[in-house]
Structure 1
Amino acid sequence: MELRQIQYFMEVAKREHVTEAAMALHVAQSAVSRQIFNLEKELGVNLFIREGRNVKLTMIGQMFLEHMEQAMKVIDEAQREIEEYLDPMKGTIRIGFPSSLASYTLPTTISAFRDRYHQVKFQLKQGSYNELIEGVINGDFDMALIGPVPKQEKKVAGTTLFTDNIVALLPLSHPLADSPSIKLSQLREDSFVLFPKGFILRDIIVNACGQLGFQPKVSFEGEDIDSIKGLVSAGLGITLIPEITLVDGLPRSTVKIPVMEPEVSRTVGVIIPIERKLLPTVRLFYEFLKDFFSILDQYQR
């Protein structure tokens, strides 16, 4: 079994089409077909079912694909580890992040890091709370920025970098728009714009309202921070939102107001895998993150 055969097999499995796989691999279709034939002959099983011009994995083919995906991750990790030990200043860091940290926190830290280590590369992917945790556990990410920092996950280690207040974002036309601060109970009758069910920021807000004996009336839902801010800007409701997402300015026709009684906040930090050691470049960035926010916290105090 050759590495090239595995690569061709995985590309065909991904695209379910030999010609498209060959084009993606920049090789002749006959070369892909031959390698798949040789692989099936060596294994003694059919990995694909032919359906006209398309192909689909057999049951044994699906099982084989899952094992090969894990094997390729190990091979890629070994190659990265060797390259980074030779020169950790030129490695690649794969980071997962939520939309709430996309506009300010992540770009600011990467920019500061690259001022010092300008040859390090980053691969960035946005994900939901659970996707970020699973991605770090499964090896899809080297680390993830996340909020709140999970405390009960046994396969990741979390480090809190800072605490982020949750503030109210109201349209300028709202009766409380001129208030220096508000109580959460004052928003009991308002229409809320929130993340869909299953998003951690929605859970934080719903739980805070629940402590005061009411459930927020949700008029609209948005799957990212910008869409939620846009809906509030259009006067379609109010929201509670992490203050860090407003650091670059408020959406038009809105006002930010601190929420008191109860104060609502979340921890923001970084998670890394417990069962895998960090590669040298990843370790470099991880230590930089902790130092960067420690210095920032001292300065702000």
Structure 2
Amino acid sequence: MVDYSNWLRDVSDDTKLSTLSIPGTHNSAAYHMALPSVQCQDASITEQLENGVRFLDIRVSKNILHSDDQQYNLVVCHGKFPIKLLGNVELSEALDEVYKFLDSHRSETVIVSIKQEGSGTWDNDHDEFGNCIWDRYVNKNKDKWYLGTDIPKVGDTRGKAVLFRRFGVKDQQRKSQFGFEASWWTYNTSNDDRGNLQVQDWCEINKPEDIGTKANYVKEHIKRAVDYNSTNTDSQKLFVNFCSGSNFFDHECWPQKIAEGLDQDKIDETFGKGSGILVLDYAKTNDWRIVREYVNKNF
């Protein structure tokens, strides 16, 4: 039986992360009481990690309640909205959960995606956002991160967070030590191949009938990953497959409804060895069934 809190323990050190089937969560910290269109999870980051999730999607904003240095204590958001009805959740809180998990599960690694969203303006011609992430969050905890720009092997990342950087950096020297770059892909894409990164992130679910279309895109991307990894055991391509999507104006297209629809459309029937990163909403659904079936494909 798989120990989902330590499942990477049974994976060889020489295995590339890109050749695994890795369950992830979309807007991972959005598990607090919030607007139904904003909440994306129903379990904490710690619970997610203990149940097998190994990719976290975290979106952050300046703290616009402050105009001084406190504004750079970044808060987690979903689009323009805070992820909690009362009070903010700071990025430092989310990362502390990751660090504590890795301290007690030294065989594991967690891929942490960080993206700039929300309110507040940034001078990114001068790397204001990137410098904030580096100075306040990464550099002071450098021993807790794998910051290589390559696709690493499991053995290189045990006990560490792997930075999946969804923001650009202009400073070339900084860029060379600042994680895997995934700063952009085409919006609303069903398949965008960036060479070392291939993404499915079709998210404009305008009506309930579109959920079936989304399910097909998810299945097609799983098949691409499995087919590629079956013939490229030293894979240099990371497949990322978002199961998320929404329409703010139609409650039948809010995150929980889409998660239920993908489950009903049996996306799990396409799971295989080397399926890539599958980014889920409401990952706890049916006692983590999708997460656990996905992990099981590694064995």
Shorter-chain TM range is under 0.3
Point out the structure with the larger strand share: 1
TM-score by length of 2: 0.22
TM-score of the aligned structures, taking structure 1 as reference length: 0.22
Of the two, which has the highest radius of gyration?
1
